[in-house]
Amino acid sequence: MKKSFKAILLVIAGAALLALAACGGNKDDALSTKKISIGVTGGPHQQIAEEVKKLAKKDGLDITIKTFDDYNTPNTALNDGDIDTNNYQTIPFLDQQKKDKGYKLSIAFKTVAFPMGIYSKQIKDIKDLKKGDKIAVPNDPANEYRALKLFEKAGVIKLKKGVSQKATKNDVAENPLKLDIVELEASQLPSQLSEVRAAAINTNFAMGANLTINDDAIYHEPIKNNPYPNVFVVRTANKDDEVVKTLKKYYQSKELKAFIEKEFKGSVVPAF
């Protein structure tokens, strides 16, 4: 009798565990075609996601937008299954995160680009930089490399050959003006602009300080065919899910393209 009773308890316990597993779901399951969550950073990505949400609602797809205030958490949340997708990052940033943290994430499609600009409150042309001037760049790996490459393209400095995405000011090979390169937190660059002669600032932070590529930058990356598109990212297991194809249709629609061009006036551009 005792053995039979134990056997019954084991069966009941097993059934309960199966029921809990069924309720909890699995982050590797196919994403729902009715409900989906998108992780974004505040600002343009959130605004764009809100427009996508409106388009999707007409077709019966309910989108939940989750806004983050940093660049690391959205990938952690996606990898751990706390959100279904995200859209906020460039390819080099994603590649570095995957390398450093082992995330199983994949690019689904390109969305927009944020051309980086060099801004100044003291000079009107990049050629007006003088010997010993201070210039500022973001201090995070992906963006510092990008900023240094921008100054290089402007003819101000030259980087070492074969420099990697983790380049810092120590990788500058030629600095004829002996410029003092200051590395700062990306979000702090606009507020520190008056303390340096010029600074390479990410567009989202520039926009927050009412700086625009077309009106205020003294030099900037290409607006068309920008080399740093932002990408829509999913867990690798969900890359070919039906809802991902549906979201691509919205993100790359003529309606969204028109919204981006009208709303951001060149500071954010379609990358599709």
Asked, for residue 171, whether it belongs to a domain, the answer is: yes
Contacts of residue 142, defined as CB under 8 A and 6 or more positions apart, other chains included, come to 90, 92, 93, 96, 165
**What is the predicted pLDDT for the residue at 71?**
87
| Parent domain of 135 | 115-218
Domain count, the chain: 2
Q: Are residues 69 and 200 in the same domain?
A: no
**What is the predicted pLDDT for the residue at 164?**
80
Asked, for residue 246, whether it belongs to a domain, the answer is: yes
CA 101 to chain centre: 16
pLDDT over 80 (residue 170): yes
Q: Are residues 49 and 182 in the same domain?
A: no
Q: Would you give the DSSP letter of residue 252?
A: T
Q: Are residues 127 and 213 in the same domain?
A: yes
Q: Are residues 202 and 156 in the same domain?
A: yes
pLDDT over 90 (residue 242): yes
If you search the block for the tokens 């600032």, which residue do you land on? 201
CATH of the domain at 181: 3.40.190.10
Asked, for residue 24, whether it belongs to a domain, the answer is: no
Q: Are residues 109 and 231 in the same domain?
A: yes
CA-wise closest residue to 173 among 183, 162, 159: 159
What torsion, rounded to 10 degrees, do the Cα atoms 30, 32, 230, 121 define?
-140
- At 81-101, the pLDDT tens digits run 999 999 999 999 999 899 999
CA 12 to chain centre: 47
Asked, for residue 4, whether it belongs to a domain, the answer is: no
pLDDT over 70 (residue 22): no
Q: Are residues 122 and 181 in the same domain?
A: yes
Q: Are residues 231 and 109 in the same domain?
A: yes
6-15, 54-63, 191-200: least confident range: 6-15
Q: Are residues 208 and 236 in the same domain?
A: no
If 0-12 CB within 10 Å is exposed, 13-18 middle and 19+ buried, where does residue 112 land? buried
Structure token digits, residue 54: 């409106």
- At 177-209, the pLDDT tens digits run 999 999 999 989 999 999 999 999 999 899 989
Asked, for residue 27, whether it belongs to a domain, the answer is: no
Q: Are residues 210 and 122 in the same domain?
A: yes
Query: Longest Cα pair distance anywhere in the chain, in angstroms?
Result: 93
- At 213-223, the pLDDT tens digits run 999 999 999 99
If you search the block for the tokens 């980087």, which residue do you land on? 159
Asked, for residue 89, whether it belongs to a domain, the answer is: yes
What's the pTM value of the predicted model, to 2 decimals?
Answer: 0.81
Q: Are residues 104 and 128 in the same domain?
A: no
- Are 66 and 38 within 8 A, CB to CB? yes
Q: Are residues 89 and 44 in the same domain?
A: yes
Asked, for residue 194, whether it belongs to a domain, the answer is: yes
Q: Are residues 212 and 155 in the same domain?
A: yes
